[in-house]
Amino acid sequence: MQTIAPTLTPEQILFFHINGFLSVPVPATTPEELEIMRLAYDRIFQERAGRAQGDQFDLGGTDEEGTEENLPQILNPAKYAPELKSGMFLNNLDAIVKQLLGSDASAGVAHAIYKPAGHGAATPWHQDEAYWNPDLQYKSVSIWMPLQEATAENGCLWFMPGSHEWEVLPHQSIGGDVRIHGLEMVDLTPIQNPVCCPLPPGGCTIHRNRTAHYAGPNTSSLPRRALILGAGLAAHPYPGKRSFPWNDIKRTPREERAAAART
Ligand code: NI
């Protein structure tokens, strides 16, 4: 059986720092643990766990009740599925992250994005930092782990090499609709020769906070399940002034539900 949780080679670490992403096409856990995780994952998406709290929502649509979901997402899925809270996958991904960012970084499960069979929408080109607080300077990574094979057909990730060195470029809610949580880069001309990263079940890609990335629609006959983990060093005040106005003008039903749940 192939070794799980590879120690990254110096070449892989160098590739990551030069390109702002790395594909690790080796499973981070056993088929048995992946099966347990898949069952838990499907259960919480079926229950729409966390909807009332604003943790479950349609990342790619207006998220109104009764509309078909394009791109359902659950924040903090381990809150609703303890099976996703710990395990071999987390220990191994944590070890990989420490090789890339140092021992102060530790991996935690952040969110889950489900692409329904046949109609899951594309996740447009974006930089993750565009979602965050513009007053802070980040050094972090996202780890994307599919719970089944990920292919160009079902929506694996694509990356733009070197884009981690860019500033955060202008973004907008998908299609310019401020009811939609998901963001997209406004101008795609900087995206040239992106790299497609298919993965086996339990493999992963790792990318930096400004690395531009994209996932295609799911045109296959099976759902595409992805678990996303985050890890980072402490954020510092951003040196200088910047603003992310696309977040200030967003008016999503998700935020309304989250605000109602807090009161
Ligand atoms: Ni992203």
The per-residue pLDDT for range 37-62, each reduced to its tens digit, is 999 999 999 988 788 888 887 777 77
Asked if residue 156 lies in contact with residue 215, where contact means CB atoms within 8 angstroms, the answer is yes
Distance of CA 1 from the midpoint of ligand 1 (Å): 32
Q: How far apart are CA 146 and CA 201, in angstroms?
A: 6
The CATH architecture to which 10-262 belongs is Sandwich (2.60)
CA dihedral 249, 254, 258, 259 (to 10 degrees): 40
> DSSP H helical segments within 112-163, as ranges?
none
CA 212 to chain centre: 12
Sheet holding 157-159, edge to edge: 123-126, 213-215, 157-159, 195-197
Distance of CA 212 from the midpoint of ligand 1 (Å): 8
Average pLDDT score, the chain: 92
Distance of CA 128 from the midpoint of ligand 1 (Å): 5
Q: How far apart are CA 105 and CA 233, in angstroms?
A: 6
Q: Write the pLDDT tens digit of every residue in 164-192.
A: 999 999 999 999 999 888 999 999 999 99
Distance of CA 175 from the midpoint of ligand 1 (Å): 17
Question: What pLDDT does residue 228 have?
Answer: 95
Give the rounded percent of residues in the chain with a pLDDT score beyond 70: 98
Distance of CA 142 from the midpoint of ligand 1 (Å): 8
Q: How far apart are CA 259 and CA 263, in angstroms?
A: 7
Q: Which residues surround ligand 1, an ion (CB under 5 A)?
A: 128
Q: How far apart are CA 87 and CA 104, in angstroms?
A: 20
Q: How far apart are CA 141 and CA 94, in angstroms?
A: 11
Q: Write the pLDDT tens digit of every residue in 63-119.
A: 777 777 778 888 899 999 999 999 999 999 999 999 999 999 999 988 998 988 887
Asked if residue 212 lies in contact with residue 125, where contact means CB atoms within 8 angstroms, the answer is yes
Distance of CA 182 from the midpoint of ligand 1 (Å): 9
CA dihedral 219, 222, 225, 226 (to 10 degrees): -40
3-state secondary structure of 254: helix
Distance of CA 126 from the midpoint of ligand 1 (Å): 6
1 pLDDT higher than 50? no
> What does pTM read for this prediction?
0.92
Q: How far apart are CA 229 and CA 90, in angstroms?
A: 9
Distance of CA 213 from the midpoint of ligand 1 (Å): 6
144 pLDDT higher than 60? yes
Question: What pLDDT does residue 5 have?
Answer: 67
